Amino acid sequence: MVLAIKIERGVLVLPATDTRRPALPTLATGTAFAALRSRGYRIYLAGQCLASTGTWMQSIAQDWLVLRLTHSAFAVGVVMALQFLPTLLLGVHGGHLADRFPKQRILMLTQTANAVLTAVLAALTVTGAVRPAHVYAFALLAGLVFAVDAPTRQVFIAEVVPPGLLRAAVSLNAAAFQTTRLVGPALAGVLISAVGTGWVFAVNALCYAGPIAGLLWLRPADLTPVPPAAAEPHAVRAAGRYVLQRPHVVATIMLVGVVGTFGLNFPIVLTAMASGPLGGGATAYAIFNIALGIGSIAGALLAGSRPHTRLRLIVLAAAAFGLCQVAAAAAPGVPVFLVLLVAVGAANLAFQAMANSSVQLWVDPRLRGRIMGLYMVVFTGGTPIGAPIIGAVTNELGARTGMAVCGALPAVAAVALVLLRWRAALTRWRLRRPSPAGGRRRGRRPYRRRPDASGP
């Protein structure tokens, strides 16, 4: 091997070599596309794009199937609740598995399980044997797989890109996921109209071959695996204590919980808007999702272009998401509604990408799986609480009220967090401000005295 040697300012400089990763191609930094410098990430992203396309197709088909079988928006909320209930109960433990065992192997198992479950639902639907109970059972079993798969996928990205590209990779992953939102609903609408919902499920089962092949194609040189965490008692509790000692992480996760629980009930409110005040049926519902996807791509790419993110920007994005959704609920017609949905999608994905990447970069990599498991618990695990509530509000008070509630709660949470942080900052300033007489104020934390100081 030949090493290029040069002298800079009289100092002999030898280039650093990396024995694990091949040299990354040059690509402009400061954008989410910088993550494509990693070969492993390119392979992983390609597989995830195919799987995400199938997931969006299935989401449309599943919501419409439940409405056709039950004629109830509340039933759609129940399916969502069953799908995310396991994450609420087991998400942190799923993240613990990601810390303890090879993530690539875990993802192989979860993707295979997803393919088998979806194929069974496809067979039941195509043969006409499907009943609401079958969809409920599928949602619960898929939720059990998701409780392990979701936190593992979140932290696996950190193994296929260098640390400096993690924020860009998370943002580009979100943008790609939302790009498939443009293709998936359109394909689902065509297939539902042409051959029925069952064949949509069958296509999704085949789409899982993409991530499985991508995971098999990854080479050891494409990965920088984090050493597995040692077995320890109360490992999940230790991760919780770690988070509580970092107020900025706690604030971000709490805000993510409110947005995930109440703000992201689009399957409920959009199906209701499409079958109610705005009309249009399944075609309109698919178009609504496409509008969300367009905005989401822009929001994710915008988030990935930022090398650093402060908590205040995350809070601002959450507030913008909520306010835009409230405005969309009051839209007088479809054109205005679509424009506002683009804004909702942009604010939503900017918030999600910045919050996700920031939490991963703020915490110890050895605890990242458990902490992202906690992140997924509050982000998706709150759906069993929020979805039935929003479904009931939508049924009783109408689609517009349901959507307005979805937006108002995240906006209120963002404002409340700002007020709490201002109050905490003001308290700290008052504690540090000396009294006019030079002494300590009653009830304040005492000043640390110099070693040679005497007296109060």
Q: Are 325 and 274 in contact (CB under 8 A)?
A: no
Residue 219: helix, strand or coil by DSSP?
Answer: coil
Least confident of 108-122, 276-290, 435-449: 435-449
Q: Once rounded to an integer, what is the mean pLDDT over residues 422-449? A: 61
pLDDT confidence of residue 201: 93
- Long-range pairs for 123-127 at CB < 8 Å and ≥24 separation? 123/198, 124/198, 125/65, 125/196, 125/197, 125/198, 125/201, 126/196, 126/198, 126/199, 126/202, 127/198
pLDDT for the residue numbered 120 = 94
Lowest mean pLDDT among 120-129, 276-285, 407-416: 276-285
Length of the chain: 456
Q: Is the pLDDT of residue 338 over 90?
A: yes
Average pLDDT for the chain: 82
pLDDT tens profile 9-46: 443 343 443 434 444 444 445 566 788 888 889 999 99
Q: Is the pLDDT of residue 425 over 60?
A: yes
- What is the pLDDT at residue 37? 83
| Residue carrying the six token digits 């919980």 | 257
Domains and CATH numbers, the chain: 35-430 (1.20.1250.20)
Position 239 pLDDT exceeds 80 = yes
Which of 154, 152, 141 has its CA nearest to residue 95? 152
What dihedral do alpha carbons 221, 223, 224, 230 form, nearest 10°?
A: -120
The pLDDT score that the predictor gives to residue 434 is 66
Tokens read off for 297: 């791509």
- Determine how many CB atoms are found less than 10 A away from the CB of residue 141: 19
Q: Would you call 456 helix, strand, or coil by DSSP?
A: coil
